[in-house]
Amino acid sequence: MAAGGYGRGAAVLSVGIGVTGLITYAYFALASHALSESEYGRITLLWSAVFVTVSVLYRPVEQLLSRTIADRHERGLGGRRHLRVAATIQIALGALFAVVALALRGPLQDDLFDGSATLYWVLVVTVLAYAVSYFARGFLAGSHRFGLYGGLVLMEASSRCLLALAVAVGIASGQSAVALGIAAAPIVSLAVVPWALGRRLPPAVAGDPEVEAAEARALDEAAAGEPGGEPQFTLAHGSGFAIAVLAIMLAEQTFLNAGPLLVNATGGAEGAALAGFTFNVLLIARAPLQLFQAVQTSILPHLTRLRAGGESDPFRRSVSVTLTAIAGFAALVALFMLALGPTVMDLVFGGERSYGRGGLVLIAVGMGLYLGAATLNQALLARAHARAAAACWLATAAGFVAFLALDLFEDPVLGVEAGYAGAAGVLVALLSVLYRRSHDR
C-alpha cells in the first residue's frame, strides 16, 4: 500500500509539474524572443535571485513539514504544535529576508539590476509571497494531497506565463511587464492556499488523553532507540533540521545559479547577455529538476512512513527503483542532446551564439548524476541524517565555485558545463557512501 501510494503520488504530481515545466519553458522562450539580449539577461538574473532565495529560505520548512506530518500520521499522532513551530520558523525567515533586502537595496538595485527599481521590488514582493506558498506545499505533501500540490504549482506557472505572452503579442511591452509575471505567480496562488490548508487541519491536542498517551509512547520509543522513534517536536528540534536543509538548499542553488551569476560578474559589457545564454544551457538541468519535484516531493513522506514503521526492505527498494529510473532518463536526454541538442536550443531560444553539442551532453550527464544525488538526499533526510548530508552538499558546492573561479576554460560556458557535471559526480559519490553507512548502522 505504501509503495502504491508513492507511485500514485509521483504520477499525479508528474502530470501537474510536467505541464508546469513546459509552461516555464514557454515563459522563457517568449521572453527571449520579445526582449533584447540584455533585457532578457536581467530577467534571468531576477529569476535566479528569486529562486535562489526562496529555495534556500523556504524549502527547509517545506521539507520539515512534509517529513514531520508523514511521520506523525504513521504513528497516529495529532495536534498542531508542529504546524505552529514550522510557521514560526517561516515567518522569522521571511522577516530576515525583508530586513536584509531593504538594507541592501542600493547594491541589489544598482549592481544586480542595473538601476531598475521595478526589478528590485519584484524581487522583494515575490520572495515574501512565496513564504506562504512553500508552507502550503509542505503541508500538502506530508498530508499526501498531491493533486492540490500539483494544482498549486501549475497555477503559479500559468499566471507567470500570461505576462510574457501579453508582451509577445503586443498587449503589454518591456522588461517590467515580463518581470511582473514572476511576482504574479505566488500572489495568485495565495487565493487557494487558505482553502487548501483549512480543509483538513489536524485537531488540537490540549486535554486529549488519547493523543497525549500516543505522544508519550512515541517519546518512549525514541528514548529506547526503537525503529521510527522521533524526539519531541520543539522549536529547537525543528530549527535544527531546517538549518541543515537550508544549507543543502544553499548548495543546491549554488550548483544551478553560480554559473550564470559568475559569468555575469566577469563578462564585462556582454556579461548580462552571456549570463542569459548560460542560463539557457542550464535549463537542460533545470527542466528535469522541475519534473523531478514530483518524485522528490512524494518520496520523502513515503520513505519517512517506511522508516517510522521499521520497513527497511521497501525503503531500499524504493530508493533503488528511483535511481534506476533516473539513470535511464538521463541516458535518453544525453542521446537526444548528442543528436539534436544544438538545433533544438537554437530553435527555442534563438540568439546569435551557438550551442556546443559536447557541452549540452555534459549538462545532460550532470543532470542525471544530480538527480541521483537528490534522491539519496531525500533518503538521508528520512533517516534523520540531515546534518551529514548537508556537509556533503556544502563541500561539493564550495569545490564547484572554486573550480569556476579558476577560469580554466577559454569559453566560460564550457567551464560551467564541465564543472557542473564533475561536481554532480562528486556529490552523488559522497552521498552514496553516506547512504550505505546509514543502512549498515
Specify the pLDDT at position 47: 87
Neighbours of 21 (CB within 10 A): 22
110 DSSP assignment: I
Helix residue ranges per DSSP H, 350-441: 357-382, 386-406, 412-440
DSSP character for 108? I
Contacts of 281 (CB under 8 A, 6+ apart): 345, 355, 359, 360, 363, 413, 416, 417
Q: What is the pLDDT of residue 301?
A: 84
CA-wise closest residue to 371 among 424, 439, 318, 294: 424
Q: Tens digits of per-residue pLDDT, 306-335?
A: 887 766 778 888 899 889 989 998 999 999
Residues 370-416 have pLDDT tens digits of 999 999 999 998 888 889 999 999 999 999 999 988 877 777 788 88
Burial class (CB in 10 A: 0-12, 13-18, 19+), 436: exposed
Separation of alpha carbons 159 and 228, rounded Å: 41
The rounded Cα 379 to chain-centroid distance in angstroms is 16
Q: Is 220 left (phi over 0), alpha (psi -120 to 50) or beta?
A: alpha
pLDDT in the model for residue 195: 64
Nearest to 141 by CA among 296, 7, 4, 250: 296
**Rounded to an integer, what distance in angstroms lies between the CA atom of residue 129 and that of residue 126?**
5
Q: Which of 221, 249, 309 is nearest to 93 (CA)?
A: 249
How far is CA 172 from each of CA 186, 187, 308, rounded to the nearest angstrom? 21, 20, 53
C-alpha cell of residue 437: 553507512
State the pLDDT at residue 199. Answer: 55
Residue type at position 191 = A
**CA triplet 406, 411, 414: central angle to 5 degrees?**
85
C-alpha cell, 360: 549540452
Separation between Cα atoms, residue 13 and residue 106, nearest integer Å? 40
Report which secondary-structure segment, H or E, holds 347.
Answer: helix 312-349
Cell readout for 212 is 497525549
The per-residue pLDDT for 221 is 43
- The DSSP string of 33-81 is HHS-HHHHHHHHHHHHHHHHHHHHHHHHHHHHHHHHHHHHHHTT---SH
| Distance from C-alpha of 441 to C-alpha of 330, rounded to nearest angstrom | 31
Contact at 8 Å (CB) between 318 and 302?
yes
Residues in CB range of 225: below 8 A, 6 or more apart:
none
CA angle at 10 for the pair 8 and 16, rounded to the nearest 5°: 105
350 phi and psi, to 5 degrees?
Answer: 65, -150
Residues with Cβ within 8 Å of 53's Cβ and at least 6 positions away in sequence, in order, are 97, 123, 127
The DSSP secondary structure of 80-110, one letter per residue, reads: SHHHHHHHHHHHHHHHHHHHHHHHTHHIIII
**Cell numbers describing residue 122:** 519584484
pTM of this prediction?
A: 0.73
pLDDT at 305: 81
Closest CA relative to residue 214, chosen from 72, 407, 94: 72
pLDDT confidence of residue 340:
87
User: How would you write the pLDDT of the chain (441 residues) with one tens digit per residue?
Assistant: 445 556 666 666 767 777 877 888 888 888 888 888 788 888 888 888 898 888 888 988 888 888 888 887 777 666 677 788 888 999 999 999 999 999 999 998 888 888 889 899 999 999 999 998 899 888 888 887 877 887 888 888 888 888 888 888 888 878 888 888 888 888 887 776 666 555 555 555 444 444 444 444 444 443 333 344 444 556 666 777 888 888 998 898 888 878 887 877 766 656 667 777 787 788 777 777 766 777 777 888 888 888 877 667 788 888 998 899 899 989 999 999 899 888 888 887 766 677 888 888 998 999 999 999 999 999 998 888 889 999 999 999 999 999 988 877 777 788 888 899 999 999 999 999 999 887 666
CA dist., res. 254 & res. 256, Å (int)? 5
The pLDDT score that the predictor gives to residue 198 is 58
- DSSP E strand stretches across 203-296: none
